[in-house]
Amino acid sequence: MSGSRIHRKMERRDFLKLGTAGIAGVALLGTAGCGGGSSGSKRLTLGNIGWDEDVALNSILKILLKHKFGYQVKLQLADAGPIYQGVATGDLDAFMDTWLPYTQKTYWQRFKGQVEKLAPWYQGKATLGLAVPDYVKARSIADLNKYRGEFDGTIVGIEAGAGEMNVVKTKVIPGYNLDYTLQASSTPAMLSELNRAVQAKRPIVVTLWKPHWAFTAYPIRYLEDPKGLMGKGEELSAIVTKNLQQDKPEAYAIMKAVRLNPQELGTLEVEINKSNPEQGARNWLKKNQSVVQPWISAAKQAGKA
């Protein structure tokens, strides 16, 4: 399998970015005609950060809300900071991919009083880690120096500004006294290198995160992190505008009802990676009606109230 098709269009954004780019993003949201909010409207605008799990879930919701409840759903691409602010101001109706309590702590502390956070939709722990193919001998990050020659002393990373790159550079490498170079590239480039290594059964160590389709598509695993330097597990939840339940009850209810376990989300991401977000979501829905039926039922019940 080649690198992620999703990421050819939208590379994974820096988890911790907040500054000039974020301000520009807020301005973009304000002029994009998002209109998250006319009361009772059948228009819905979701913040889209471009990460695999966010693209996947947004694609499912867009199809269900359009065909089951008549909503016109728009996905607005932006960084985390502008998205949080967009939901807080009502320019966006919702954002489905908050990483809390650690990764997006800065944004949550700033906007938590202006949005509603729903219960976690991902039924697993979202984590950051260093991943290797199952066939390598190294079992933990502490083993990497022992097998340095096999990995050419290189950790294959993603975008230089990404949050996990900073963690590896400032905490993991010094914390484990690793004689390694952290190779910055891009998410598609990292996935392409991972694919080539797995096909050739070569050792490789990459920066990765869960949930991610790579753990479903490839025989890979995290290296154990006995010092806990990659951080604790996160929860994936949605934030919505405070008036969403009143103004758009069906949309609110379906978002509140969403639940996906690691296997379900993994297969959804794989389907999307095979083609494109819309077609992949349609293919996945055909095979997983029992998963989404409770969401649909909750939305129908809310529409009757």
Q: How far apart are CA 301 and CA 305, in angstroms?
A: 7
How much of the chain, in percent, has pLDDT values that exceed 70? 86
What pLDDT, in 10s, does the model give residues 127-153? 999 999 999 999 999 999 999 999 999
- Asked if residue 261 lies in contact with residue 44, where contact means CB atoms within 8 angstroms, the answer is no
Q: In the structure, what pLDDT confidence band is assigned to residue 40 with cuts at 50, 70 and 90?
A: low
Name the token pair of 180.
Answer: 């390694």
Strand ranges of the sheet holding 116-117, from the earlier edge strand across to the other edge: 72-77, 43-48, 94-100, 235-240, 116-117
More confident residue, 125 or 292: 292
Asked if 5-124+234-304 and 127-222 have one fold, the answer is: yes
pLDDT at 6 over 90: no
Give, in order, the Cα–Cα distances in Å from 99 to each of 128, 157, 234: 11, 20, 6
Indicate the CATH number of 127-222 among 3.90.105.10, 3.40.50.1220, 3.40.190.100, 3.20.20.80.
Answer: 3.40.190.100
What is the DSSP code (8-state) at residue 168? Answer: I
pLDDT of 5 over the 80 cut: no
What are the residues whose beta carbons fall under 8 Å from the beta carbon of 232, sequence distance 6 or more?
102
Model confidence at 81: pLDDT above 90 = no
Q: Which residue has the higher pLDDT, 228 or 13?
A: 228
d(CA 2, CA 196): 8
Phi, psi of 51, deg, nearest 5:
-80, 155
Enclosing H/E stretch for 181: strand 181-183
Contacts of 155 (CB under 8 A, 6+ apart): 130, 168, 173, 178, 180, 181, 182, 183, 205, 206, 207
Nearest Cα residue to 131 out of 50, 216, 53, 200: 216
Q: Is the pLDDT reported for residue 92 higher than 60?
A: yes
- Cα R_g (the chain), whole angstroms: 20
Of the pLDDT bands very low, low, confident and very high (cuts 50, 70, 90), residue 125 is: confident
Q: How far apart are CA 230 and CA 92, in angstroms?
A: 32
Domain borders along the chain are 5-124+234-304, 127-222
User: Is the previous residue joined to 219 through a cis bond, with omega within 30 degrees of 0?
Assistant: no
Distance CA 296, CA 270 (A): 23
pLDDT in tens, 50-67: 888 999 999 999 999 999
Q: What pLDDT score does 26 carry?
A: 41
pLDDT tens digit sequence for 150-199: 999 999 998 786 668 888 999 999 999 999 999 998 888 999 999 999 99
Q: What is the DSSP string of 26-47?
A: HHHHHHTT--TT-TT-SEEEEE
Residue range 5-124+234-304 forms a domain whose CATH class is alpha beta
Q: What is the mean pLDDT of the chain?
A: 87
Residue type, 125: K
Find tokens 């950060």 and name the residue: 49
Per-residue model confidence (pLDDT) at position 300 = 96
How far apart CA 37 and CA 29 sit, in angstroms, is: 13
> What average pLDDT score do residues 93-100 get?
94
